[in-house]
Structure 1
């Protein structure tokens, strides 16, 4: 069921921006006033609270402020806001770039770094809900905060305190696998009509991590903002840029899928051949994702989700992609030709168009995709430095 009382795009953007301020300030009212949401949500300590969580990986974990929970007022009376901030520290970057699959606790599979991060403050959310019993919860976040808001929405709608939920994200990376996205997009307490994913076509973070992770909602419903001829521009990831892009717009203005390369290409091979040389873009990575989805369906059919689950905590997306394509190449001569085209395409868009295609092996496939992921992660780091 679609929620009638929504945050407007500029209100959602302002709420996402407030979450960054609570790393160094406990003055809710001043922050709410600065970002023009003081008339929407309560700032007193009886109706709101700040929360912290643990970010990082590889021994660098630390406790950092992550956002705010607050009851609403005015048109949001008896409703609540959950605002999670995005990447702002070195520890957060480690969380973002540690994407092996992990169980969410709700029967789905998602990015391990995000899941661990969310688990560190999950109890704050459910305690707040048990005390205040909101009728609707508005989950908002930018970048890493969008991923955490997505996991919060998933946790809320699958809990014993389940309530109607709305999700708003800006520049959000891919959070979970196909099953995760489908559950959120079809759940009666959330659903695709209550998911508002805003992204710039040139934001590299919104295209990470690669397959097998996918965005919500499915099958469509994103708020696409085209810019810069689709070439990646790390500065377009900043929350300030998103706030400017949605200013004065309605959700109806924004809700449109990105162009036809987001659909399931019947001719993805031809699209790869016509993609030109180096230079990463939304279009080129979208074509690549279509190719990987095609190969996974062709090779694994209905068993691939079981393969992902079996590899949780062990196999990263790079491992999974390499295993998938190596397995596909050994199934048939036709598949081997398709895999060769995919690997050649990856090297070409990374700027290695003059190189001869190496012999197809698990190692050569792994090397090609590692080159791509390193390049994307470098762009993501630049983007996350401009996060807000």
Structure 2
């Protein structure tokens, strides 16, 4: 099963959005034309319920993507499932009270993403159950929140049909905890092509303890966080634009999501070096994970399946409890909080080691990052 090129995968991610506008014009769409020598779009479109409260209440379905089948040649008989993001799910990703639910691989994931995936899961089952007379090869593609849905779809297709699955995402948020990321890598035999722009805020959320799969492909390295870096089709940078400039994934700069193993400690006195970039957002997260692991709190938090607000309450309590354990732990907590305040633009704000103060700083950091992600999703496409 050959991998889709970055350009082909990006064009499919763009096609998923076009279905929402006017499916009748899809045949003349430039993105479709670019993949038409290799794939034919199937007649069925994928319809699901978006993330807004009203749409959930009234079960209002909308186009969420498409399925294509490979023509004779490199991808003969392969399928592509392409899923889109939507600005209507902005509240789902920016809600600090978002819950967790169990997905098809029995791991905890973001409940909002899982709810939307489950709204079209039966449609996928009906489509692919008619085509299981031979081994299914399925490429699952998605941008933004469509990338989150693609993660869930890839796991489900593997678990339900035993399909050979490859996963391609652009600017996708984190979907679940570390255990879910490991299961996703196993389901795809490590064929996860997680593409990001370094300045895109959406891959930074949800924050701790949610985790990406390990490998990432950095299509654009500008690191100052800006919502515009999340666009799929805008030219600067635009995921379609940057992906199309690479012939293969081997040519793309690599990054890693390795915070579980990474040792990072932050010195409060050096907090002024911290700026609002993806590098520092990740480094602060890595320092927090390091501290929770050192104090023996990480496993308990990652295995306490509740809503994420309670998770962040737990993290605040863990930081508070570690203050009196040792001078080094107190220094670690002060460094983490100091860098969080610097990231948010308050490097000289006084720190009190009370639970209320620590929880306030955590919430300030979360709100800052989620706000940027919300702005980016509002500009989706």
Return the TM-score normalized by structure 1: 0.87
Ranges in structure 2 where 5+ consecutive residues have no aligned partner: none
Query: Aligned partners of 1:239 and 1:162: how far apart in 2?
Result: 31
- The answer to whether the 8 Å contact 1:29/1:38 transfers is no
- Structure 1 position 157 matched with structure 2 position 153: no
Query: Aligned partners of 1:8 and 1:165: how far apart in 2?
Result: 15
In structure 2, what is the equivalent of residue 139 of structure 1? Answer: 140
Secondary structure of the 1:184 match is helix
Alignment of 1:234-313 (within 5 A): 234-240=227-233, 241-249=238-246, 250-254=248-252, 256-257=254-255, 265-270=262-267, 273-276=269-272, 279-300=275-296, 303-304=299-300, 307-313=301-307
Ranges in structure 1 where 5+ consecutive residues have no aligned partner: none
Aligned length: 367
How far does residue 316 in structure 1 lie from its aligned partner after superposition? 4.9
How far does residue 168 in structure 1 lie from its aligned partner after superposition? 0.3
Secondary structure of the 2:66 match is strand
Change (3 A) 1:371 1:317: same
Query: Aligned partners of 2:227 and 2:297: how far apart in 1?
Result: 36
**Counterpart pick for 1:67 among 65, 68, 71:** 65
Return the TM-score normalized by structure 2: 0.88
Query: Aligned partners of 2:42 and 2:201: how far apart in 1?
Result: 38
Alpha-carbon deviations, 1:231-259, whole Å to 9, x = none?
Answer: 1121111012111112231111115226x
In structure 2, what is the equivalent of residue 180 of structure 1? Answer: 180
- Structure 1 position 24 matched with structure 2 position 25: no
In structure 2, what is the equivalent of residue 167 of structure 1? Answer: 167
Query: Aligned partners of 2:193 and 2:30: how far apart in 1?
Result: 22
- The answer to whether the 8 Å contact 2:274/2:280 transfers is no
How far does residue 345 in structure 1 lie from its aligned partner after superposition? 1.5
RMSD: 2.5
- Structure 1 position 198 matched with structure 2 position 195: yes
Change (3 A) 1:63 1:332: farther
- Structure 1 position 213 matched with structure 2 position 210: yes
- The answer to whether the 8 Å contact 2:41/2:66 transfers is no
Query: Aligned partners of 1:233 and 1:243: how far apart in 2?
Result: 17
- The answer to whether the 8 Å contact 2:42/2:67 transfers is no
Alpha-carbon deviations, 1:342-382, whole Å to 9, x = none?
Answer: 1121112111112221x212211111121112211221122
How far does residue 64 in structure 1 lie from its aligned partner after superposition? 2.2
How far does residue 329 in structure 1 lie from its aligned partner after superposition? 2.9
Alpha-carbon deviations, 1:73-129, whole Å to 9, x = none?
Answer: 132221111000012x3x311222244332113211111111111111111112211
- Structure 1 position 36 matched with structure 2 position 34: yes
In structure 1, what is the equivalent of residue 127 of structure 2? Answer: 128
In structure 1, what is the equivalent of residue 377 of structure 2? Answer: 384
Query: Aligned partners of 2:328 and 2:364: how far apart in 1?
Result: 25
Change (3 A) 1:314 1:280: closer
- The answer to whether the 8 Å contact 1:231/1:280 transfers is yes
